[in-house]
């Protein structure tokens, strides 16, 4: 990259090792990925003066003024040790080293917007080396992604117009309510939670807000200048706009109507600090949802995702927030202990899964997502059984050769039907709090005796866990 901006090969090599040295020092001062999931380790309120005292080499007060930050009295310094490590870098590195570091970051961040040589160099490392991708995606796909990244709610309006019907929204909302009802029943039935905590859990469950499809109020991009002949400038101005929009939230009440995913995104999320679940229009289409599919398929496909997001409010991370989204522990020490015992079963089970030879999953890192997958599918399954009973539809009723229950599991498996290269699987095993698709299917259903029953699996079988784990 340095060579591409005109540095001689020898100097480029030196500068590259400077960058690597600074990155390594900053990485060592960072929290590991597993700890980053623990809000107790990432919430540290400080005054600006306290922040200044742990980073004397960086004038944060000048920085806040330079970026036009509104006045504030305290801030969350997520990882104080990182700021201290950052201060050490500033104290021990020369000004030239710091300039080289920032220069590389500037070029690297914008590489995708620069001429072909930069695009290819960027791809050869992040695409090929790190992820094993064989070839760069076609230009039009990269352009659509860039538009989604930079002007997501403008692209989103068009996406919603073309793909998202009122019927989809209605059916999803009904399913969400049914699965919330099942979660309420489930909380009452579990034996590891105390009666008082159950009451609190019900309060939290009833306070969950549901957001489906797209925001009520679209982001206003009218102040962003987009010019047909200035790709780099467009990207720069769109980022500037987002950065300003974020800074202007300082000192204002939380906007609970805001989305952190764009409408075309094929994903969903639970926000613990707002206690809401969010399903962008992008995930409310096949294979996750179809207006033409029967309920059994839809419950298995999108229903399990709905259940997944809902349980996030009660997993090892989400349970530390109350119904209003404040970081406040509402569990007794005994509940916590028993929850941990149940959850440890998943930690052990998933730590035994290996996506590529020689690499195992990190059961602690993936715990929240695994609990959500396992709990989510159970809630969706109970909701389907209730739905079938209400309509007097027998569970064994076959459509296209499969019973209702079998269709449910097929719908679920279709969610995760994808190919992953070994390089990407290796990287994900070390960094991604989600298990890879293979185990999101096989790991989950092997914990459900119902799966073995409806497909006639005989023990011992890979599809029947020796010890079935369950929290929800
Ligand atoms: Zn999740």
| Per-residue pLDDT reduced to its tens digit, 156-183 | 999 999 988 777 788 889 999 999 999 9
Q: Does pLDDT of 53 surpass 90? A: yes
pLDDT exceeding 90 applies to what percent of the chain? 96
Strand 45-47 to 74-76 pairing: antiparallel
Q: What is the mean pLDDT of residues 203-231?
A: 96
Task: Evaluate the CA torsion angle 207, 278, 308, 390 in order and state its sign.
Answer: positive
Q: What is the mean pLDDT of residues 282-298?
A: 94
Measured distance CA(320)–CA(327) in Å, rounded = 6
Which of 380, 242, 237 minimizes the C-alpha distance to 311?
A: 380
pLDDT tens, 429-446?
A: 999 999 999 999 999 999
Q: Does pLDDT of 329 surpass 90? A: no
C-beta separation of 42 from 79 below 8 A: yes
The protein residues having their C-beta less than 5 angstroms from ligand 1 (an ion) are: 369, 372
**pLDDT in the model for residue 32:** 96
Which of 324, 368, 331, 38 minimizes the C-alpha distance to 204?
A: 324
Measured distance CA(448)–CA(374) in Å, rounded = 8
Which of the four pLDDT bands, split at 50, 70 and 90, describes residue 287?
A: very high
**pLDDT in the model for residue 284:** 94
Q: Can you list the positions of beta strands (E) in 164-288?
A: 209-213, 269-271, 276-280
Using the mean position of ligand 1's atoms as its centre, give its distance from the Cα of residue 433 in Å: 9
Using the mean position of ligand 1's atoms as its centre, give its distance from the Cα of residue 366 in Å: 10
Strand 276-280 to 269-271 pairing: antiparallel
Q: What are phi and psi of 309, to 5 degrees?
A: -65, -40
Q: Does pLDDT of 219 surpass 90? A: yes
Using the mean position of ligand 1's atoms as its centre, give its distance from the Cα of residue 369 in Å: 5
Rg (CA), the chain: 25
pTM strictly above 0.85: yes
Measured distance CA(119)–CA(128) in Å, rounded = 13
Using the mean position of ligand 1's atoms as its centre, give its distance from the Cα of residue 315 in Å: 10
Non-local (6+) Cβ contacts of 310 within 8 A are 179, 180, 183, 205, 208, 270, 277, 376, 379
Mean pLDDT, the chain, as a whole number?
A: 96
The CATH architecture to which 3-136 belongs is Orthogonal Bundle (1.10)
Using the mean position of ligand 1's atoms as its centre, give its distance from the Cα of residue 155 in Å: 25
Using the mean position of ligand 1's atoms as its centre, give its distance from the Cα of residue 470 in Å: 17
Report residue 177 as tokens: 């309510």
Q: Cα 356 vs. chain centroid, distance in angstroms?
A: 23
Every domain of the chain and the residues it spans: 3-136, 165-217+257-455
pLDDT exceeding 70 applies to what percent of the chain? 100
C-beta separation of 207 from 232 below 8 A: no
User: DSSP string spanning 225-259?
Assistant: ---TT-HHHHHHHHHHHHHHHHHTTTTS---TT--
C-beta separation of 262 from 155 below 8 A: yes
Report residue 32 as tokens: 């590991």
Report residue 48 as tokens: 């600006």
C-beta separation of 447 from 435 below 8 A: no
Q: Which residues of 217-246 are buried (b: 16+ CB within 10 A; e: fewer)?
A: eebebeebeeeeeeeeebbebbeebbeeee
**pLDDT in the model for residue 223:** 97
Using the mean position of ligand 1's atoms as its centre, give its distance from the Cα of residue 372 in Å: 6
C-beta separation of 261 from 280 below 8 A: yes
For the chain, the distance separating the N- and C-terminal CA atoms, rounded to the nearest angstrom, is: 50
Report DSSP state, residue 56: T
Non-local (6+) Cβ contacts of 365 within 8 A are 33, 34, 37, 432, 433
Using the mean position of ligand 1's atoms as its centre, give its distance from the Cα of residue 84 in Å: 32
C-beta separation of 286 from 267 below 8 A: no
The CATH architecture to which 165-217+257-455 belongs is 3-Layer(aba) Sandwich (3.40)
**pLDDT in the model for residue 169:** 84
Using the mean position of ligand 1's atoms as its centre, give its distance from the Cα of residue 320 in Å: 16
Strand 269-271 to 74-76 pairing: unpaired
pLDDT tens, 311-321?
A: 999 988 899 99
Report DSSP state, residue 35: G
Using the mean position of ligand 1's atoms as its centre, give its distance from the Cα of residue 273 in Å: 15
C-beta separation of 84 from 118 below 8 A: no
Residues identified as active-site: 309, 373
Q: What is the mean pLDDT of residues 239-258?
A: 95
């Amino acid at each position: 990259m340095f060579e591409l901006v005109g540095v001689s090969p020898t100097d480029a090599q030196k500068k590259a090792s400077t960058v690597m040295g600074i990155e390594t020092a900053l990485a060592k001062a960072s929290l590991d990925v597993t700890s980053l999931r623990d809000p107790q380790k990432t919430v540290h309120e400080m005054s600006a003066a306290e922040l200044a005292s742990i980073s004397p080499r960086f004038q944060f007060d000048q920085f806040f003024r330079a970026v036009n930050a509104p006045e504030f009295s305290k801030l969350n310094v997520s990882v104080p040790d990182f700021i201290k490590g950052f201060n050490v870098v500033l104290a021990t590195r020369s000004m030239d080293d710091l300039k080289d570091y920032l220069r590389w970051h500037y070029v690297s961040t914008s590489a995708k917007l620069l001429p072909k040589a930069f695009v290819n160099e960027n791809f050869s490392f992040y695409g090929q080396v790190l992820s094993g991708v064989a070839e760069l995606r076609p230009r039009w796909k990269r352009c659509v992604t860039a538009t989604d990244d930079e002007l997501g709610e403008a692209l989103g309006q068009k996406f919603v117009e073309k793909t998202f019907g009122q019927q989809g929204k209605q059916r999803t909302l009904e399913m969400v309510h049914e699965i919330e009802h099942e979660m309420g029943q489930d909380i009452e039935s579990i034996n590891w939670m105390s009666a008082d905590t159950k009451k609190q859990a019900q309060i939290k469950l009833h306070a969950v807000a549901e957001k489906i499809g797209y925001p009520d109020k679209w982001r206003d991009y009218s102040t962003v200048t987009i010019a047909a002949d200035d790709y780099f400038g467009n990207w720069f101005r769109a980022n500037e706009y987002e950065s300003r929009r974020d800074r202007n939230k300082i000192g204002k009440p939380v906007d609970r109507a805001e989305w952190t995913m764009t409408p075309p995104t094929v994903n969903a999320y639970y926000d613990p600090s707002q206690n809401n679940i969010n399903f962008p229009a992008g995930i409310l289409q096949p294979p996750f949802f179809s207006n033409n599919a029967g309920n059994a398929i839809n419950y298995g496909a999108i229903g399990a995702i709905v259940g997944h997001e809902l349980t996030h409010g009660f997993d090892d991370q989400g349970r530390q927030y109350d119904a209003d989204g404040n970081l406040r522990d509402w569990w007794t020490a005994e509940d916590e202990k028993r929850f941990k015992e149940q959850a440890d079963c998943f930690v052990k089970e998933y730590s035994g899964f290996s996506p590529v030879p020689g690499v195992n999953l990190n059961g602690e890192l993936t715990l929240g997502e695994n609990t959500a997958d396992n709990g989510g599918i159970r809630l969706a399954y109970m909701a389907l059984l209730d739905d079938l009973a209400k309509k007097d539809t027998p569970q064994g009723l076959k459509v296209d050769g499969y019973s209702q229950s079998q269709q449910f599991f097929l719908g679920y498996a279709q969610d995760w039907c994808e190919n992953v290269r070994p390089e990407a699987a290796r990287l994900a095993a070390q960094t991604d709090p989600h298990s890879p698709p293979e185990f999101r299917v096989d790991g989950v259903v092997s914990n459900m005796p119902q799966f073995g029953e409806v497909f006639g699996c005989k023990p011992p079988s890979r599809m029947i866990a020796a010890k079935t784990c369950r929290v929800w």
